[in-house]
Amino acid sequence: MVVGLLESDVHGDIAEEDSTGYEDPDDMKWDSHRDFIVSAFCPATKESSWEPPYGTDSDKLNAYVAKFRANGNKPLVNDDGKIRASHLLVKNETSRKPKSWKSPDGITRTRDEAISIMKEHQRRILNGEVKLSDLAQTESDCSSHTNGGDLGFFGKGQMQPAFEQAAFALNVGEYSDIIETDSGIHILQRTG
C-alpha cells in the first residue's frame, strides 16, 4: 500500500475489506495531491477517483487525518505557496493508466490522436466557445471531471513535473499550452 502519509494506519484503519468492498486492503492506494487524503487508486481495476471508494467509513477516514495531524505531521508542502488549477485530460494508449470513466475497458487512441483532440478543445476554449470547466465535465478522462476538472490546491512536488512547471508559471485565469505527462495530454487553467 502506498500512502504518502502514514502507510500502516491507512492499511489498518481505512482500507479494510468490509468498509471499502476491495478484496485485499493492498489493492487500495491513497494519494495526497491536495491537502491530505483526497484521491484513491485501485491497481487491480486501474480505476482512480477523487472521492474515497464506496463504503469507506468516513469516521475512520476523519480519525486517520486527525491522528496524522496530531502526531505533528504536516501536508507535503506548507499552505504557503499552494496554487489551485483545473485541467482537461485526454489519455492515450500509452498513458500510465489507460482507462477512464468514459472508457472503462481501456483507451485505444494514439498519442497523436489525443494531441489532435486536445488541440480542438484548446481552440474552443481560447475562442470562448466553451469554458474549460464545462468541457472537462464531459470530455476529460480524469476522475476530476465531476468537479469540472478542479484539482484543488497543491504545492510544489505534488504533481508531475511538466504539469507543475506549467501550473506555477501561469497567472490566475491563464491557460497553459498543451502539456504531456505520463497521465496523458492536458490543458490547465490556474484558478487560484
pLDDT tops 50 at residue 4: no
Distance CA 147, CA 188 (A): 14
pLDDT band at residue 50 using 50, 70 and 90 as cut-offs: low
Q: What amino acid occupies position 177?
A: D
88 and 15 co-located in one domain = no
120 and 180 co-located in one domain = yes
* Total tally of structural domains belonging to the chain: 2
Q: Would residue 144 show up in a list of annotated catalytic residues for this protein?
A: no
112 within domain boundaries? yes
**Catalytic residue selected from 39, 48, 87, 95:** 87
**Chain-centroid distance, C-alpha 118:** 18
Distance CA 192, CA 189 (A): 9
**Catalytic residue selected from 33, 142, 143, 145:** 142
Which pTM value belongs to this model?
0.59
Q: Would residue 189 show up in a list of annotated catalytic residues for this protein?
A: no
Tell me which residue range forms the domain holding 135.
83-190
CATH of the domain at 24: 2.20.70
2 within domain boundaries? no
pLDDT of res. 9:
35
119 within domain boundaries? yes
Highest mean pLDDT of the ranges 3-17, 99-113, 116-130, 156-170:
116-130
173 within domain boundaries? yes
CA angle 151, 22, 27 (to 5 degrees): 70
pLDDT band at residue 157 using 50, 70 and 90 as cut-offs: confident
pLDDT of res. 40:
57
- What sign does the CA torsion over 140, 141, 144, 145 have? positive
46 and 98 co-located in one domain = no
Share of the chain above pLDDT 90, in %: 28
118 within domain boundaries? yes
Q: Would residue 121 show up in a list of annotated catalytic residues for this protein?
A: no
66 and 91 co-located in one domain = no
Q: Would residue 95 show up in a list of annotated catalytic residues for this protein?
A: no
Q: Would residue 176 show up in a list of annotated catalytic residues for this protein?
A: no
* Residue at which a domain ends, from 70, 102, 125: 70
33 within domain boundaries? yes
102 and 58 co-located in one domain = no
20 within domain boundaries? yes
Reduced to 3 states, what is the DSSP secondary structure of residue 181? strand
Secondary structure in 3-state letters for 18-47: HHHCCCCHHHCEEECCCCCCCEEEECCCCE
Tell me what the pLDDT averaged over the chain comes to: 73
CATH of the domain at 161: 3.10.50.40
Q: Which residues pair with 87 in a beta bridge?
A: 188
List phi, psi (to 5°) of 159.
Answer: -120, 170
77 within domain boundaries? no
95 and 183 co-located in one domain = yes
92 and 26 co-located in one domain = no
Distance CA 79, CA 154 (A): 9
pLDDT tops 90 at residue 52: no
pLDDT tops 90 at residue 185: yes
Between strands 47-49 and 184-190, the pairing is unpaired
pLDDT of res. 112:
95
